[in-house]
Structure 1
Amino acid sequence: MVKNIIVFVLTASFAFGANVLEIADGILGQSSAKTTALFSDGLDYLDGSGRPDIAKISNTLKSNSLFPTSYKEKVNLDIQFISNQANPLLLIKIVKEALNSLGFNEILTTEFANTKATIWGIRLNTKFMLDPGSLYTALKNTNTIISAIEKTGDFSYKYILDTSKSILNLTPLEIGKEIELSKPLEPYFIDVNDASKVEITAKNGDSWFALVRILDNNLNLIEEQRKNKKTNKINFILPSNAKYITIDDANSLENIKRGLKIHIQ
């Protein structure tokens, strides 16, 4: 199975991503005379970079009643996101945020592999189809490109993504100023670009098993700062290639239910 996925990735890469008609047929899972006629002039469906504009393609499919926007009842929609870049955490982070922005918040991981291709398989239990055009637009905000789409079943798809230039749209913290962070629902994700030192303090009444991961621009782990006993403060020096940090509790985020204060220099 992984071998077939790798072949699919390489095929999409050699073709500079799928062309307009291939994207349309990939969304529908079949070729037809109608899609050939609709997209015969592919130039009308290219973006400024010369790649297929999947938002335009999707809108044309929907306006011609070729692509449904919803189902009669909830279905399990299985999707594989595949990247040949070796940055699995970045792939998951950008796709998850794109899906959240489209209203898909309950995401079940069904598969993960990081061999010659990074693969994240998910399941969405939903009445609403994941619109490739909306996903394309959401991913563009992070410089992430959909290179190819393949419908593999009635309710299953593969997306090949190019994450080589992907970025996260986070506002860096102001250096030299203490910032209060609200109660976390998940580990904090912080842009610490240009900072050299970090101090994190629990609010009054809280203490936590501090767990901080320091990441580079591609979300690769550089190092980890951890406290094995409860503390109300942690401080450390950042490596020169640090771009992001995640702040977590090794046991439970309930330990910092009042939030944290962070000061970077």
Structure 2
Amino acid sequence: MVRILFIFIFFFESVFAISSLELAQNLVSNPAKNSQLKLLFSNSSYLDKNGNLNIAQISRVLKTNSLITLNLSTPQTLKLNFRSKSDAVIFFKILSDALMDAGYVYFIPTELILHNENIDYTVEVESQYVLDPGTLYNLLKENSVYIKNVKRVGVYDYQYDLDFDNAKLNTNVNISLNSLAVLERPLKDYIFKTKDASKLVIDASDADFWFPKVLFLDKNLNLIKSVKSNEKNNHFSEFIPSGTCYVVVSDMYSLDNIRRGLRVFLKK
């Protein structure tokens, strides 16, 4: 069961920019390999076009030189800790999607520490494959979220410092104003822009059992309003709050509850 702590002191260490060598040393976590790491990284910055460490390249170099091993002989309990300053809704949405896309469909939240918008979140997962930092880097950057640092803090424990300052949501459906959109079975939550619509109307198939979960977010991905139902309701109608830019549509329990898709109407 996840343990949630609301604390009243600032618990994060200051996160300063680190070099590719320092990050490689953090990932390898073996002083005996430092000489080899210096040869590989001392003269290479490995920065992406936005000035962030290109962790995909760094991970590739480490794997090519057998400095990190991501395949385990037997499944192990992996502990992953993520820290950031972010709106909680967007933090969990982007991170959860990235973990699932990385192959961690089933993970167990074990601890959550919150203070204002500072988040310290830990999950555990049983796997024979250690999360590749390069894979996570590529998945997160699709939403303009970047990894500032990664530390191997135990045999199977890793700590990630994430930068959500410029986070954005990638929409996965396009809905025109005053035109009914028939959406196919979702693999992820539906995300679309409101396009200055005033009202949102959604219908699920009569053969499905939808428990609506609808989030209204502003352009900076701050939550304006959430509407959630613990009762089956295959019809949803709501005036769109002022300032809304994005809508996230899901089910309270499982996307299998809307396996036949949804019909969405954005009214001008």
TM-score, normalised to structure 2, is 0.82
> Residues 96-138 of structure 1: CA distance to partner in whole angstroms, max 9, x if unpaired?
2222222221121112222152122111211112111121122
1:239 aligns with 2:245: no
Distance 2:234 2:66 in 1: 58
Specify whether residues 19 and 185 from structure 1 end up closer, same or farther in structure 2 by C-alpha distance, changes over 3 A only.
closer
Stretch moving more, 235-244 or 161-170: 235-244
Question: Are the counterparts in 1 of residues 77 and 127 from structure 2 also a CA contact under 8 Å?
Answer: yes
Verify the 8 A CA contact 1:144 1:162 in the aligned structure 2.
Answer: yes
**Which has the larger displacement, 31-40 or 245-254?**
245-254
Question: CA 1:227 to 1:78, structure 2 compared with 1: closer, same or farther past 3 Å?
Answer: closer
Q: For structure 2, which runs of at least 5 residues remain unmatched after alignment?
A: none
1:179 aligned residue = 181
Q: Which residue of 2 aligns with 1:192?
A: 193
Among 1, 6, 12, which residue is 2:12 paired with?
6
2:177 is paired with a residue of what secondary structure?
Answer: coil
- Equivalent AA in structure 2 for residue 178 of structure 1: L
Pick the structure with more helix per residue: 1
Shift of 1:161: 0.5
Q: Which amino acid aligns with 1:132?
A: P
Determine if contact 1:189/1:244 at 8 Å carries over to the other structure.
no
Cα distance change, pair 168–211 in 1 and its aligned pair in 2 (3 A): closer
Quick check: 1:214–1:242 contact (8 Å CA) kept in 2? yes
* 3-state SS of paired residue (2:168): coil
Q: Which residue of 2 aligns with 1:264?
A: 266
Task: Give, in angstroms, the shift of residue 226 of structure 1.
Answer: 5.7
1:53 aligns with 2:54: yes
Q: How far has the Cα of 1:182 moved from its partner?
A: 4.2
Aligned to 1:162: 163
Find the residue that maps to 1:42 and give its secondary structure: coil
Q: Is the 8 A contact 1:19 1:51 kept in 2?
A: no
**1:173 match: secondary structure:** coil
**SS in structure 1 opposite 2:203?**
strand
Q: Is contact 2:79–2:157 with CA below 8 Å preserved after alignment?
A: yes
* Unpaired stretches in structure 1, ≥5 consecutive residues: none
Q: Cα distance, 1:205 vs. partner?
A: 5.0
Shift of 1:253: 6.8
Pairs within 5 Å for 1:29-178: 29-31=29-31, 32-43=34-45, 45-85=46-86, 87-115=87-115, 117-171=118-172, 172-178=174-180
* Contact preservation (8 Å) 2:52, 2:146: no
In the alignment, the residues of structure 2 paired with residue 207 and residue 134 of structure 1 have an alpha-carbon distance, to the nearest angstrom, of: 35
Cα distance between partner residues in 1 of 2:68 and 2:218 = 40
CA distance in 1, matches of 2:119, 2:218: 18
Q: Give the structure 2 partner of residue 24 of structure 1.
A: 24
The one-letter amino acid of 2:24's match is A
Aligned residues: 256
Report deviation, 1:145. 0.9
Q: State the alpha-carbon separation in 2 of the partners of residues 256 and 133 from structure 1.
A: 33
RMSD: 2.9
Structure 2 distance, partners of 1:251, 1:93, is 15
For residues 210-258 of structure 1, the C-alpha deviation after alignment (integer angstroms, 9 at most, x for no partner) is: 4533233454332244678765433222123213334456688776564
Same amino acid, percent of matched pairs:
31
